[in-house]
Amino acid sequence: MKKKQPRKQNPSKNQEKDSSLKLGDMLNQDIMSQLRQKQKELNEAEVEKKAAEEEKKRAERKQREKNKSFEELLGESNLNWKNYK
């Protein structure tokens, strides 16, 4: 029977783990600044979109409240007629 020999590790994997180079180190500083600027713009656009969505919902609620019938308003009322009998 043959003895199992330990497998040799791939040297490229070890070099990747040992090297402390990051993506930011490998990229040009101009490209990094462009990426950061783009990320900031996307975050701002997302915040604006959420704010617009909330404003739209608020306006819809206000319009719905304005158009409620007497029956709906009476049903939502917390008053109990038995207290005033």
> What is the pLDDT, as a whole number, of residue 69?
86
Six-digit token pair at 81?
């007629």
Nearest to 42 by CA among 53, 34, 30: 34
> What is the pLDDT, as a whole number, of residue 29?
83
> What is the pLDDT, as a whole number, of residue 11?
55
> What is the pLDDT, as a whole number, of residue 6?
67
What does pLDDT average to in each consecutive run of 10 residues of the chain (85 residues)? 66 56 73 92 97 96 88 81 75
- Report d(CA 77, CA 33) in Å as an integer: 57
> What is the pLDDT, as a whole number, of residue 8?
66
Residue type, 81: W
